[in-house]
Amino acid sequence: MKVSSEVKFALKKGLPVVALESTIISHGMPYPKNVQTALAVEAVIRDHGAVPATIGIIDGEAIVGMSPEEIEEFGKRKGIKKVSRRDLPIVFARKEWGATTVAATMILANMAGIEVFVTGGVGGAHRGAQETFDISADLEELARTNVTVVSAGVKAILDLNLTLEILETKGVPVLSYQTDEFADFYTRHSGIKMENVINSPLEAAKIIKAKRDNKLDGGLLIANPIPEEFAMDTKVINGAIEKALKMADEAGVKGKDVTPFLLKTIVELTGGDSLESNIKLVLNNAALGAEIAKELCKL
C-alpha cells in the first residue's frame, strides 16, 4: 500500500486523518461533479483542521491519500471496477484499478491506521432483501473492522428498518447526530426513532474510544442528517425512488450494479436535484467527520 507523505506524516504525529472512498467518485456521481465534489470534500476536511485521505487502487496498489490528479483520473476514467471486500485480492493480483466501496475503504483505512471515514451513505439491505439476500457487504465490514463511518444515515432506496435490524444483530453502534430521527440520505425524516443521539463530536469520540479501549471490535455508524435547507422534498424523492426501483427491476439490474444504477436514475428523474442534495450531504459529513477525528486525537 502506498500512503501519501502528508498522510504518513499526520499519522506519525498523531494528527487527525479522515479517510474517503472512491466508489462515490467513479460510480456514485457523474463527471465532472464527482471530481469537484471529491476535491471540495477534501477542502472541507482541511478547513476543519484534519488531513483527508482519499483511498483507491491504482494498478493493483492501494493508495491512501490520492493526489488531485489521481482523483481527477478516478472521476474521468471509464471502466474502473467497483471494489468491495471480495474484489480486493482479484484487483491486487491482476494489477487493476479499483474504486473502493465503504467496505473496502474501511479495510484499507484500518490497515493504514485511520479511524474515521466520511462518505455519503453506506450500503445496506435492499428492499426485498428477505428474498434476494441483497445486503451490502458494508454492513459486514461495520461489524468487523475498527473504523467509524460518518454517513447521512442510509439511502432511502434501501429498507431502512431491515438495515438497522442487521446492524443491531451485528453489534454495530448507530449514533444519530443531533436528532432522534434516523437520517434517510436525501431527507431528515425517515420516521424511524433512534435510541442513541449524540449532540457533539466529543460525545462521538468518547464512545469510539470506549469501544476501542474495551476491545469491542468493529465499526460505528454516525448518522448525520442532511441540513434541512439542502434536503429533498419527501414526495418528490420518494416518487423518484419508486420509479427508479421499478426501472431497475424491469432492466434486470442485479448485484453490484444496483446501487450505481439507482443513484444515476434518481439523478435523472429529479432533473439533477438529488445530485445537489447528495453533494451537500457529503460536505456536511466531511465537516462532522473532521471534528470527530480531531476530538479523538485529543482523547
List, by residue number, the catalytic residues: 21, 155
Q: How far apart are CA 279 and CA 282, in angstroms?
A: 5
Confirm if 149 and 220 have CB atoms less than 8 A apart: yes
Indicate whether 159 belongs to the interface with Mn ion (CB under 5 A). Answer: no
Interface with ligand PSU, residue 184, by CB under 6 A:
no
23 binds, among Mn ion, ligand PSU, none (CB under 5 to 8 A by kind): ligand PSU
E strands, 190-289, are 197-198, 220-223
Q: Which of 48, 81, 211, 256 touches ligand PSU by CB under 6 A?
A: 256
Which of Mn ion, ligand PSU, none is residue 27 near (CB under 5 to 8 Å by kind)? ligand PSU
For residues 277 and 230, the answer to whether their CB atoms sit within 8 Å is yes
- Cβ proximity of 138 and 101 under 8 Å: yes
The phi and psi torsions of 28 (rounded to 5 degrees) equal -105, -25
Q: Is-contact 218 146, C-beta < 8 A?
A: yes
Binds ligand PSU by CB under 6 A, chosen from 15, 39, 129, 137: 137
278 contact choice in Mn ion, ligand PSU, none (CB below 5 to 8 Å, kind-dependent)? ligand PSU
Binding-site size for Mn ion (CB under 5 A) equals: 1
Closest CA to 9 of 17, 19, 20: 17
- In 3D space, the residue among 51, 50, 48, 26 whose CA is nearest the CA of residue 37 turns out to be 26
Q: How near is the Cβ of 188 to Mn ion at its closest, in Å?
A: 25
Cell of 1: 500500500
| 110 vs 259, beta carbon nearer ligand PSU | 259
Cβ neighbours of residue 254 under 8 Å, at least 6 residues apart?
none
Contact pick of 17, 19, 20, 21 for ligand PSU (by CB under 6 A): 21
Q: Considering beta carbons, is residue 157 or 283 the nearer one to Mn ion?
A: 157
By a kind-dependent CB cut-off of 5 to 8 A, residue 284 interacts, out of ligand PSU, Mn ion, none, with: none
> Does 134 interact with Mn ion (rule: CB under 5 A)?
yes
Residues 6+ apart with CB under 8 A from 10: 16, 17, 51
Told to check if 173 binds ligand PSU by CB under 6 A, we report no
| Position among 52, 123, 153, 225 found at the interface with ligand PSU (CB under 6 A) | 123
CA separation for the pair 192, 183 (Å, rounded): 8
Taking the C-alpha atoms of residue 226 and residue 153, their distance in angstroms, rounded to an integer, is 9
Q: Does 81 bind ligand PSU (CB under 6 A)?
A: no
Indicate which single residue of 11, 20, 23, 224 sits in contact with ligand PSU (rule: CB under 6 A). 23
Residues at the site binding ligand PSU, with contacts judged by CB under 6 A: 21, 23-24, 27-28, 101-102, 120-121, 123, 136-138, 256, 259, 263, 278
Residues at the site binding Mn ion, with contacts judged by CB under 5 A: 134
